[in-house]
Structure 1
Amino acid sequence: MQLPDDLVLSSLARVSRLHYPILSLVSKTFRSLTSSPELYQNRYLLSRTENCLYVCLQFPTEPNLRWFTLCRKPDKITNQICKKRKKKKKETSWQCNVLAPVQIHNSPSVEWSNLVAVGHKLYAVSDAPSSSNVFFLDCRMHTWREKILLLSIHWRVSWSNSETDGWEKVDGLEGLPKFSRYSNVKLVNCGGKLVVFWDKYVPAPGGYKEKMIWCADISLEMRGSEEVWGKVEWFDAVLKVPKSYKFVYAKAATL
């Protein structure tokens, strides 16, 4: 017996967006529903929208940019050492986060200097002279679209703290690995949390080393009027990359 699409959509709308790349592999129907406008309309009506991270990378042997989204990977078995109880290695089932590739359609040929997130759209900010054409990435459909405006728009993008207009020190952060001096580090605001991306070399079979992008999710808390404390919720190796890759953008869209 096949469930009606409306019932499936209602159920999918209640599931975290992190699981959609995996659910899309279940069947052609699920693949279609997880990318349908009706699903995201249901998520909005049910107040189930959430912030989703998109990462844009440039690989040395590929002319086009590569896009990824942070998603949940199925359970896997890994060996972990329980240091507190000093037990031997044991097998534990756990879930981790990964950067899953996303196919982006109709990529514009113009270059842009930054991306600005507005809801479920990532607007391309260009340093070129003002134009009536504005490109944006629709993160629901994973398609670039062009919007024609009657008035020219001058974009100005800046990062600041709304109260102090500057950077603040974040205390705490127990459990966050130390970065090497050569690590490429990116910080992203995702729904009030601080998401940190960095890369480092890790041992690989055959005595070689491979470069991995790592990610940490940090919740923030104000203690008093000046102290900002960070708690590391999780950190994982999320993607293997070429040694000479370029980290282009990381933005959070609301879906």
Structure 2
Amino acid sequence: MSPGESSEPLSLPEDVIVDIIARVPRFDYPTLSLVSKHFRSLVTSPKLYASRSLLGFTEHCLYVVLYNHFDNSNSRWYILCRKPDGNLRLVLISSLPPLHGNGSFVAVGSMIYVFDNTTSSASSIDCKSHTVQKLHNMPIHMVHTVAGLIDGKIYVSGYCNRASKNVMVVFNTETKMWEPEIKPIANKETCKRWTRNCVVMAGKIYTKDPFNSF
């Protein structure tokens, strides 16, 4: 075989190749994508993931973003996976460009939505193809944002320096658009505090301030 020749089993029908790859753990897809351009296209194709779903080979993956606290503009994304010996390791997702690590992250199905604290930018990561799509910027600049998902809508709240208060904006994951209304958080006590974390329970979002008050 010549150096540039692919070893891909082209003699196999396409459906057979898809069926075989569908049974391979997703953690090995970055390696498979190096085999050939055809394989690189297959591991990101909707047909492959439809086949995995029919075969019952869906997996829950934990995504990890690591960044330097003093320079968080160069964060890198990893998948936490289990090695054959049972130990865990972080696998770099090389296809994802560096993203700002200072922000809020919300997982919705196979998508991860990223809301940047520093520039008001928003983007989505397709966990099937490991590609990034730019979204419309947040309607207002906020710092110390937190975000939670309720009924297909992402509620992003944070402190607005311009308004000197906490506000909330809503992103619709179906239309990929921001709702026009900017909702002020009316509680006079919490308006002076920055939010640090949040949790969604029973259709409500509970936020925590630096003093561990909800």
TM-score, normalization: structure 1?
A: 0.43
Question: Secondary structure of the equivalent of 1:158?
Answer: strand
What is the rounded CA distance, in whole Å, between the counterparts of 1:117 and 1:153 in structure 2? 23
Residues 105 and 23 (structure 1), Cα distance of their counterparts in 2 relative to 1, 3 Å cut: closer
1:111–1:17 CA distance, 2 compared to 1 (3 A): closer
1:159 shift after superposition: 2.2
Instruction: Give the alignment partner of residue 44 of structure 1, picking from 53, 58, 83.
Output: 53
Aligned to 2:91: 100
Q: What are the superposed Cα offsets for residues 128-186 of structure 1, whole Å, 9 maximum, x if unpaired? A: 79x7x741111112121123426347799722565xx99xxxxxxxxxxxxxxxxxxxx
Residue equivalent to 1:243: none
Residues 14 and 100 (structure 1), Cα distance of their counterparts in 2 relative to 1, 3 Å cut: same
1:159 partner SS:
strand
Deviations 1:61-94 (A, max 9, x none): 8851111112344x5xxxxxxxxxxxxxxxxxx3
Matched with 1:144 is 132
Q: Residues of 1 paired with 2:76 and 2:116: CA distance?
A: 19
For 1:122 and 1:153, locate their aligned partners in 2 and report how far apart those are by CA, in whole Å: 23
1:119 is aligned with what amino acid?
G
Q: Counterpart in 1 of 2:77?
A: 67
Higher relative contact order (CA 8 A, sep 6+): 1
Partner SS for 1:50: coil
1:11 corresponds to: 20
- Aligned equivalent of 2:106, options 85, 109, 116: 116
CA RMSD of aligned residues (A): 3.9
Shift of 1:96: 3.3
Q: 1:154 to 1:41 in 2, by over 3 A?
A: farther
State the SS of the aligned residue for 1:51. coil
**Contact 2:80–2:90 (Cα < 8 Å) also in 1:** yes
- Any residues of structure 2 matched to 1:1-255 within 5 Å, and which? 2-25=11-34, 27-28=35-36, 29-59=38-68, 63-73=73-83, 94-105=85-96, 112-126=102-116, 134-148=122-136, 149=177, 151-152=179-180, 158-159=198-199
Which ranges of structure 1 fall in alignment gaps of 5 or more residues? 76-93, 167-255
Q: How far apart, in 1, do the equivalents of 2:89 and 2:97 lie?
A: 25
Q: Unaligned regions of 5+ residues in structure 2, if any?
A: 1-8, 137-176, 184-194, 207-214
**Larger strand proportion, structure 1 or 2?**
1
The whole-number CA distance in structure 1 between the counterparts of 2:124 and 2:104 is 11
Q: How far apart in 2 are the matches of 1:143 and 1:63?
A: 18
Contact 2:65–2:101 under 8 Å retained in 1:
no
Q: CA deviation at 1:19?
A: 3.2
Partners of 1:62 and 1:151 lie apart in 2 by 29
> Does the 8 Å contact 2:66/2:75 carry over to 1?
yes
Amino acid at match of 2:179: L
Percent identity, aligned pairs only, is 34
Distance apart, 1:24 and its partner CA: 3.7
For 1:152 and 1:106, the matched residues in 2 are separated by: 30
In the other structure, the counterpart of 1:183 is none
Check conservation: 2:75, 2:98, Cα contact below 8 A: no
Q: Which amino acid aligns with 2:131?
A: T
